[in-house]
Structure 1
Amino acid sequence: MKVLVYGAGVTGSLLSARLHDAGHDVSLVARGERLAALRRHGVQLAEEDSPVVRRVPVPVVERPAGGYDLIAVLVRTHQVDEVLRSITAVAGDVLFLLNWAAGAEPLGAAIGHERVLLGFPTDGGTMDGDVVRYRAATVLTRLTPVPIGEPDGRTTPRVDRIVRTFRTAGINARAEPRMDAWLKTHAAFAVPLEQAVHTAGGPGVLAGDPAAVRSMVRVMRQNLATMPTPPVPRAFAALRTLPEGLLVAMLRRFLRSPTAAYSGLAVASPAATAELERMAEQMRSQIR
């Protein structure tokens, strides 16, 4: 499969390296210093704190051109508009693997509704300079599959083909017929979580403030209550039914865990703040 991966951060780098290792014709889009580093060293990967760095010679480009079997977009929410402008004339189905609570309509309006697929990368990691550090237990969702689906929930040959391609590359993927609801459920949970973490100054600091965690849980419940459909996955319904005290204890434990550190929650960068503001705006629009 000929694949263009748009976004050279943690998830884009991991995805492009896995597909390249599996023999696919992959190109990775990058800009500025990241582009220069990838041209010098390729994608550099390391497990957590390991001193061993593996280099994968993924071809890198500054601008997409021509056509592809698949364009995988892994950027922050506030960067999507720029990506849409750059791929309008580039042929290929487009799989948006990112935080997105606005539905498929604005994506399809920009590039054609027939091209749009929705998904979410459920792995985690951090950037250590030019090296992507990831948790071996969760890289590219060994534990939690990458959900991929059509905006309208249909089961189509192209979704099946992408899922098979990802699986042969060692990426645990599955078809999700309720992808739009999945993304909105995730935003209902993730936006209050990230807002609380950034306000506190980190996941560990937030874990030490039970009152702040309790307030965060209440906002999550309010968000889920405004959704027109049940939460997806259904396990998120527990946020509305479990006792508040139990949820607070569970989330405090999560915030202290290595998983929270490798999920990107601890990174309060300008880009992370801009993404959070865009996601919060999308959530407010959904509530209205």
Structure 2
Amino acid sequence: MKICVFGAGAIGGYMGVKLAQAGADLSLVARGPHLAAMQENGLKLIEEDGEATVDVSASDDPSALGVQDYVIVTLKAHSVPGVVDKMQPLIGPETTIVSGVNGVPWWYFHKLGGQYDGTRLETVDPGNKQWDGFGPDRVLGCVVYPAAEVIEPGVVKHIEGNRFSLGEPDGSKSERAMALSKALSAAGLKAPVRPRLRDEIWVKLWGNLSFNPISALTHATLDVLCTEPGTRAVARGMMLEAQEIAEMLGVKFPIDVERRIDGGAAVGAHRTSMLQDLDQGRPMEIDALVGSVQELGRIVGVPTPTIDTVLALVQLRGKVAGLY
């Protein structure tokens, strides 16, 4: 089984080290100083109980790596459409594209059934670049739970979590999903195959949709924005609008809004990924996390006044910073 992790930054690097330690036929696509460090010194993973360095096959040229059985995409959502053409040498007739990307996935309406089946999402797949370039039948969904960061080129620090939930768009337990689950499990990762992956997508998105832009606007950490009455109320408003949209699309939420916000507060003084991107001058993941939910609201006819307001503010914040 040939596996390529495309975008071997924090999450992709963490997964890559684990797969390499388990003896997987692995390659990584990265760029810049991080790639150079991996090529020269290997990829180092620091965990709570120790650290390890593995030699990896890493390149910025997919054509040097050959056709893969699985291409696991761990880029930021806005980066993926621009590399679809570059990824083509990795893709053969039987290749599975594993979409480990935050936010509403581009394939969301593939095999959903009902009146919206096959709907395309412009916010996350402008010009249908992924839909046409990958083909939705190739895709296997993935909800990424671990937290990690690249602390210096070639060095990834794992913070928490080891679950990568997998799911077919049609909810089936396919051979390709079970085979990848087995490979990830052999690497010490949790990789359940879920019949209702979209439910998990929304529970994670609930927090990303609200906590990320609010933190980017206020510079508050999770414990503060989830307990300060004003910002908690804004997050609740955004989440209730999102819940109405999701339930119209058949999603079932296992917890309520208050428990989800309390869960965010319990994480503590955490700086969200969008706030980190703003601080470090990296493009902000606004469309996949917030704009996509607004687009879904338009599709199903649910008003999103709170989401609209916060989205307008964070888009302007991003534009002023030159990061959107």
Normalised by the length of structure 2, the TM-score is 0.75
Aligned identity (percent) is 21
Contact 1:124 1:134 in 2 (8 A): yes
Q: Which runs of 5+ in 1 are unaligned?
A: none
CA distance in 2, matches of 1:247, 1:100: 17
Give the alignment partner of residue 213 of structure 1, picking from 232, 239, 243: 232
The CA deviation string for residues 139-181 of structure 1, in whole angstroms up to 9 with x for no partner, is 423xxxx211111222211111111111111111111122244
CA distance in 1, matches of 2:206, 2:260: 15
The CA deviation string for residues 36-57 of structure 1, in whole angstroms up to 9 with x for no partner, is 1211222121136x8x653121
Paired AA for residue 58 in structure 1: V
C-alpha displacement of 1:276: 2.3
Give the alignment partner of residue 282 of structure 1, picking from 288, 292, 314: 292
Structure 2 match to 1:254? 266
Residues 49-60 of structure 1 aligned to structure 2 (within 5 Å) = 53-60=51-58
* Residue 101 of structure 2 is aligned to residue 101 of structure 1: no
C-alpha displacement of 1:102: 4.3
* Residue 198 of structure 2 is aligned to residue 186 of structure 1: no
For the aligned residue pairs, the C-alpha RMSD in angstroms reads: 2.5
C-alpha displacement of 1:247: 6.4
Q: 1:62 to 1:117 in 2, by over 3 A?
A: same
Contact 1:191 1:280 in 2 (8 A): yes
Paired AA for residue 133 in structure 1: K
* Residue 44 of structure 2 is aligned to residue 44 of structure 1: yes
Q: 1:253 to 1:100 in 2, by over 3 A?
A: closer
C-alpha displacement of 1:202: 3.3
The CA deviation string for residues 51-109 of structure 1, in whole angstroms up to 9 with x for no partner, is x6531212101121321111110010101102322223432211011114144155332
Q: Secondary structure at the match of 1:27?
A: strand
Residues 129-140 of structure 1 aligned to structure 2 (within 5 Å) = 129-130=152-153, 131-135=155-159, 138-140=160-162
Q: 1:272 to 1:115 in 2, by over 3 A?
A: same
C-alpha displacement of 1:192: 1.1
Q: 1:267 to 1:191 in 2, by over 3 A?
A: same
Paired AA for residue 87 in structure 2: I
Normalised by the length of structure 1, the TM-score is 0.83
- Of the structure 1 ranges 79-88 and 11-20, higher mean CA displacement relative to structure 2 is found in 79-88
Residues 193-208 of structure 1 aligned to structure 2 (within 5 Å) = 193-203=211-221, 204-207=223-226
Give the alignment partner of residue 187 of structure 2, picking from 161, 169, 172: 169
Q: Which runs of 5+ in 2 are unaligned?
A: 111-127, 299-324
CA distance in 2, matches of 1:34, 1:120: 24
Paired AA for residue 253 in structure 1: A
C-alpha displacement of 1:6: 0.4
CA distance in 2, matches of 1:188, 1:254: 16
Structure 1 match to 2:249? 229
Structure 1 match to 2:315? none
CA distance in 2, matches of 1:117, 1:134: 24
Residues 260-279 of structure 1 aligned to structure 2 (within 5 Å) = 260=270, 264=273, 267-269=276-278, 273-279=283-289
Structure 2 match to 1:16? 16
Q: 1:174 to 1:208 in 2, by over 3 A?
A: closer
Structure 1 stretches of at least 4 aligned residues deviating more than 3 Å after TM superposition = 105-108, 229-232, 263-266, 268-273
Structure 2 match to 1:3? 3
